[in-house]
A and B are shown apart, each in its own frame.
Chain A
Amino acid sequence: MPFRKHQKLNQTMKQAEFLNTVLPFKDKVFRLAKRLLVSTDEAEDATQELYLKLWKNKKKLSDYNNVEAFAMTMTKNYCLDQLKAKRSNNLTLVHSNYTDDNVSLQRDIELKDSVARVHELIEELPEKQKLIIQLRDVENYEYKEIGKILDLQPTAVRVALSRARKTIREQLIKQHNYGIS
């Protein structure tokens, strides 16, 4: 029995250690999941699922010198799989059904509108650009890190990022001009 007790103590130690390494980036995982899955509920489920997977693979985690990048890659793969499964089930999301409740109150209603519009425009981007915008402009990762997470060359990351940024701004201008005329 004392052996068992010892083992249990050891396990809780490991658990604390595990949580200390993986919890700091839980919000980033959640935000990436939400960027891809759109709905908050699904992103929360995905985050929980991902941490379960990380916990199961905890022995392998020490092999990775960058656990965060590894977790972000896992999140991306998991969410893309989820989306694929959903599409094959013919349960495509109607994105316009979701309203973004995260845009806080702004004095300027017009600005608030365009901020909400940015959200929609990012949603319309191809998945790769969506991921890169999220990782760079929201999470502020280095190009090298993004390349590692997405398994891309840093130059490919820059090209896609530039395209995404330009698209968003052009669409905003288009909408703005349309509003005036």
Chain B
Amino acid sequence: MELASIEKLIEKYENAETSLKEEAALKTYFSEDIVAPHLEQYKAMFTYFQESKEQRFTKTIPLRKKTSNMWWLSIAASVAVIFSVYFMDSPSGLTASEQEEAEMALLETQKAFQLISQNLNKGGNVAIAGLSEFEKAQNKVFKLKK
């Protein structure tokens, strides 16, 4: 484009009377390496506008607030706590055969204790019978005294 028409356009540009098409023409002119020295400032301006337009938004666009993630996180955390408490009560640390063995041992022990208690009961009965004999004798003694 001729310098004269550029100067005319620049004047219109300063008064905000240029159309978008005319401004695009100015942009093209000022993107060239060599411009008229007295229009040097416009080169800086148009270069800046051009470069500004190249900025891009590179982050993601979440359609849910970050707090809603926290909400799910809190639910997940409470579920984890409940499960861990539940499993702490049950002996989940043993394998099936170990569990069987433990149960057998419990049965054996119970049997042994039963045997002891039966025999103890026997002895207890004998002892109680002995006691009643003793009581009889004692009664006799106290009767005598009375």
Contact = CB atoms under 8 A, between A and B. Distances in A.
Given A31-B52, A31-B53, A111-B47, A52 B63 contact: yes
Given A52-B63, A162-B16, A169-B14, A44 B57 contact: yes
A165 B47 contact: no
Contacts of A34: 55
A1 to B, nearest CB: 21
Nearest to A22: B61
B13 A23 contact: no
Nearest to B61: A51
Interface stretch (A2-10, A76-84, A137-145): A137-145
B51 A172 contact: no
A127 to B, nearest CB: 17
Interface residues of A, number: 44
A109 B107 CA distance: 94
B43 A31 contact: no
A162 B44 contact: no
Contact of A169 (B16, B45, B62): B45
B41 interface: yes
A102 B52 contact: yes
Nearest to A47: B57
A159 B4 CA distance: 25
A66 interface: no
A19 B41 CA distance: 40
| B14, B16, B40, B54 — most chain A CB neighbours (10 Å) | B16
Interface majority SS on A: helix, strand, loop or mixed?
Answer: helix
A29 interface: yes
A31 to B, nearest CB: 5
A173 interface: yes
Given A30-B57, A115-B47, A165 B13 contact: yes
A128 to B, nearest CB: 13
Given A114-B44, A117-B44, 20 more contacts: A15-B63, A23-B61, A26-B57, A26-B61, A44-B57, A48-B59, A48-B61, A102-B51, A102-B55, A104-B51, A111-B47, A115-B47, A115-B51, A134-B52, A137-B45, A138-B52, A138-B53, A159-B16, A162-B16, A176-B40
28 contacts: A19-B61, A27-B56, A31-B52, A44-B57, A47-B57, A48-B59, A51-B61, A51-B62, A52-B64, A55-B63, A102-B55, A114-B40, A114-B44, A118-B44, A118-B45, A119-B48, A137-B45, A138-B52, A140-B23, A158-B15, A158-B17, A162-B14, A162-B15, A165-B13, A165-B45, A169-B14, A169-B41, A172-B41
Interface of B: 13-17, 20, 23-24, 40-45, 47-49, 51-57, 59, 61-65
